[in-house]
Amino acid sequence: MASMELTKDGSVFVLTLTNGDGANTFTKDVLEEYLEVFDRIEATKENASLVITSNSSKFWCTGINLDWLREQPREYFMEFARLMDRVYFRAALLNLPTIGCLTGHTFAGGAILAAALDFRFMREDRGWFCLPEVDIKIPFTLLMQEVVEMLPNRRAVKDLILTGARIGGKEAAELGIVDGAFSEAELFPRTMDFARKMAEKDRETYTKIKHNWRRRIAALRDVVMGGK
């Protein structure tokens, strides 16, 4: 794969985003790689968990590659938005525990992807979590809105989506947007320790509980997946 690498560390799948110099942005090819990875993971049956990390200490994911998108025909944008929705939908309902290891800036579509995961850990000393759609004039789709509203602090979520404010790791942890904030040296090991514990959960039971908990997202399956 050109923009990410899937490995296995014991019972933990590790998806490393490998285009950190390019901020791990989304293009059509990148989104299709996410879907391919999700297919591979969902096809496995053993108890496991998934960590999504980055090879960059500056960027985790900053969403759409706007320069690439501007080069596409104008009418392609809606098709691309539907493809992003598919990725978020699949990420939100993956059949195992999912954890984001947010190594750096997590912006826009990247922040939505992080919100779709079950847990998030962020670097405390570098990187912003930001939903700037109100400033870049790209409204949320219904599915994106549902995903963002899964973040536990509704007041903080309202402020983030209506103001486009940026928050660092410590503040994100205080607000409950992420589940912990650590130094650069601690972030990946602490995330993996947590992921190994979550990998012990019975996968079938965990998936049923998650799908019930995220029933509002699951209810959008036909809209997002075209009945698939």
How many whole angstroms separate alpha carbon 48 and alpha carbon 195? 9
How many whole angstroms separate alpha carbon 127 and alpha carbon 45? 35
Q: How many domains does the chain have?
A: 1
Q: Is the pLDDT of residue 31 over 80?
A: yes
Report pLDDT for 1: 82
Average pLDDT of the chain? 95
Question: Computed over its alpha carbons, how large is the radius of gyration of the chain?
Answer: 16
pTM for the model stands at 0.96
Report pLDDT for 80: 94
pLDDT digit string (tens) for 197-207? 999 999 999 99
Element (H, E) at 104: none
Give the pLDDT band (50/70/90) at residue 209.
very high
Q: For residue 211, what are the β-bridge partners?
A: none
Report pLDDT for 227: 44
Give the pLDDT band (50/70/90) at residue 224.
confident
Report pLDDT for 7: 98
Q: Is the pLDDT of residue 72 over 80?
A: yes
Element (H, E) at 56: none
Range of the domain at 40: 4-225
Give the pLDDT band (50/70/90) at residue 41.
very high
Average pLDDT estimate for 81-109: 97
- CATH number of the domain that residue 97 is part of: 3.90.226.10
